[in-house]
Amino acid sequence: MAQMVEFAKMNGLGNKILVIDMRGRSDRVTPQAAIALAADPATVFDQIMAIHDAKLAGTDAYIDILNCDGTKAQACGNGTRCVVQALAAETGRKAFTFQTVAGILNAQEHQDGTISVDMGNPVFAWDKIPLSEEFYDTSRIELQIGPIDAPVLHSPAAMSMGNPHAVFWVDRDPMTFDLERFGPLLENHPMFPEKANITLAQVISPIEMVTRTWERGAGLTLACGSAACAAGVSGARTGRTERKVDIIVASSPQRGRLSIEWREDDHVLMSGPAEWEWSGRVDPLTGGFERDAMPEAGVS
Cβ distance 194 to 132 under 8 Å? no
Q: Which residues contact 175 (CB under 8 A, 6 or more apart)?
A: 212, 250, 251
Q: Which residues contact 266 (CB under 8 A, 6 or more apart)?
A: 121, 122
> Which of 68, 76, 82, 229 is flagged as catalytic?
76
Which of 251, 253, 254, 277 is CA-nearest to residue 7? 277
Answer yes or no: 76 catalytic.
yes
Q: What single string gives the DSSP state of each residue in 7-71?
A: EEEEEETTEEEEEEE-TT-S----HHHHHHHHHSTTT--SEEEEEE---STT-SEEEEEEETTS-
Q: Which residues contact 267 (CB under 8 A, 6 or more apart)?
A: 118, 119, 120, 121
Backbone region of residue 65 per phi and psi (left: phi > 0; alpha: psi in -120 to 50; beta: other values) = beta
CA–CA gap between residue 41 and residue 48 (Å, rounded):
15
> Which of 68, 82, 224, 229 is flagged as catalytic?
224
Which residues are known catalytic residues? 76, 224
